A and B are shown apart, each in its own frame.
Chain A
Amino acid sequence: MPLTNELIQQKLIDQFGDQITEWTQPYGMLTFTAPKELNLKVLQFLYDDPELRFQFLTDLQAVHFPDRKGEELMVVYHLHNLTDNIRIRLKIYTDIATPDVYSATALYKSANFMERETYDFFGVNFVGHPNLIRILNVDEMDYFPLRKEFPLEDQSRTDKDDDMFGR
C-alpha cells in the first residue's frame, strides 16, 4: 500500500494516542506536535517502523515565538522517507526558562552539528549531546543571537551615520 499522509497519521495515533496534537498539512507536508519528553520516542518509532522508515533527518532548527508564553522555543525536525519520497515535520515546544530537549544524536549523526547550531543561536539545551558548545559564533559570546530580542547590527560600531540608515 503506498504510504500516504493519512496512513502515517493513523499509525502515529495508534502508537501515541492523543499525545500528538496539532495535525496540519501546509502545502501537502504533514506536520504535528509532540510533547518534549516524547521527542526521541516519536523519532525512534518513525525510524524503526518497517512501513514508515523515516531514516533521513533533513533539518533540525528552532523558532522563537516571544508571544507564546510558556512555549517560546519550538524545535522543528524535518524527516524524509527516501524510498517513498515523503516528508514530514515534527514540532516540539519548550519554554525559555528551562529549554531542555533530548538530543537525537544517537539516532542521526547529522543531528550533532545541527543541535550545536540550534544551541548556539537559540540556547536550546540538548540533553545527552556529546559536545554541546558553540559552533558558528565566537566562543566567548554570552547571548543567543537569533532570539527576537537581540538586534541584528553590531552595537559597538561608532561610525555609522544614522540618517543615512533611516534611524
Chain B
Amino acid sequence: MSEHILLPEGSIEKQTTTLNLGPTHPATHGVFQNILELDGERILKSTSTVGYIHRAFEKLAERRPLYQITPLTDRLNYCSSPINNMGWHITCEKLLGIQLPKRVDYLRIIIMELSRISDHLICNSIVGVDSGAFSGFLYLMQFRELIYEIYEEVCGSRLTTNIGRIGGFERNFTETAFAKLDQFLATYPAQLKEFESMFNRNRIFMERTIGCGPISAEKALNYGFTGPNLRAAGVDYDVRVHTPYSSYEDFEFTIPVGSTGDCYDRFFGAPTGNVAEYQYHRTGL
C-alpha cells in the first residue's frame, strides 16, 4: 500500500494530498469509495472500494425458476431495465431452442432502443448536474417521463419493468402505446437539439471535460471496456452490428465513435445515433 508516489515534473507541491472520496458522495451516484492521492487537482492514484450494494444476484438466481429471475435482472442496470430483461429472455430462448416470430424481435428492438435512450438521457443529464448545469437535467427528465408512460402501457411499471416473457411478450402493444411512441418520436429530436446546443459547444463544459480522464484504445481493450466507453476510446465495436441479436441486422444505424476517450467523447456516446433507427422500426412493423 505504501508505494512511493512520484510527483510529476513542475509540480509545486511537496507531497501528495490524500482525499477520501467516501462511499456517500453526490457525484458517485450510488456508492463507490475512492481514496485519492492528489497533486493539486490531478489524481495521481486512486484505490477503489466497491461492493457497497452487493446484493448476491448470482446466488439468488441459483434458487429461482427461470421466469422468476427476470425481476432480478431488472435491478442489475436499473437505468435501463428492459434491456436486461431482454438479454435474459434471449439467453433462455437460446437454451430452450425457441424460435421467435419477427414481430417479437421488432417489438423488442423498439423497447430496447427506448430504454437505451432513457439510460443515456440520465447519464448525459447527470454529467451536467455534476458539473453544475442543472437545467439540462430538468429538460431531459421530462422525456424520461414520456418513456415511462410507454413502459406503463406495455407492462404496467415505470422503472423496474419485468417486460416480456421468455418467448415473447405478455400482451400485444396497445394502440395507446403506439400513439405515445409516435408522440415521443415527434418531440424528442427537437429537445435533444436544444440540450445539445446548451452543452456541446459550451465553453465551460468543454473546458471541464476535454482532456479529463482520457483512455487510449489499447488500454481500454486491456481493461475490458465495452459499449459506449469503448467506442469513445476509438474502437469501433458494437455488439448490435457484429453479433446481431433479435433481428438488429435488418436495420441501418450509425454509431458514434470517439477518438481520445475523455469525458467529452463519452458524453457524445449515444443519444444522437438512436433516433434515426426508430423511424425505421415503426415502418418495420
Contact = CB atoms under 8 A, between A and B. Distances in A.
The finding on whether chains A and B are genuine partners in a shared complex, rather than unrelated, reads yes
Interface string A86-127: 000000000000000000000011100100000001000000
Interface string B47-85: 000110010101110110000000000000000000000
A136 interface: yes
Given A27-B94, A85-B242, A145-B59, A136 B54 contact: yes
B132 interface: no
Contacts of A15: none
B10 interface: no
Given A27-B94, A136-B51, A137-B51, A152 B221 contact: no
B8 interface: no
Nearest to B97: A27
A146 B58 contact: yes
B222 A110 contact: yes
Nearest to B221: A56
Per DSSP, are chain A's interface residues mostly helix, strand or loop, or mixed? loop
Most A-side CB within 10 Å, residue of B56, B60, B62, B243:
B56
Contacts of B235: 82
A152 B63 contact: yes
Contacts of B50: 113, 135-136
Interface residues on A, range: 10 to 19
B101 interface: no
Contacts of B62: 152
Interface residues of B, number: 19
Given A85-B242, A136-B51, A137-B51, A56 B224 contact: yes
B237 interface: yes
Given A146-B58, A146-B59, A152-B59, A110 B51 contact: no
B224 A152 contact: no
A85 B243 CA distance: 8
Contacts of A113: 50
Given A135-B50, A136-B50, A82 B58 contact: no
A110 B50 CA distance: 15
Given A55-B221, A58-B224, A108-B224, A145 B56 contact: yes
A146 B235 CA distance: 35
Nearest to B243: A85
The 3 A-B residue pairs with the shortest CB-CB distance in the complex, in nearest-first order:
A110-B224, A136-B51, A136-B54
Most A-side CB within 10 Å, residue of B58, B62, B222, B224:
B224
B75 to A, nearest CB: 15
Nearest to A83: B237
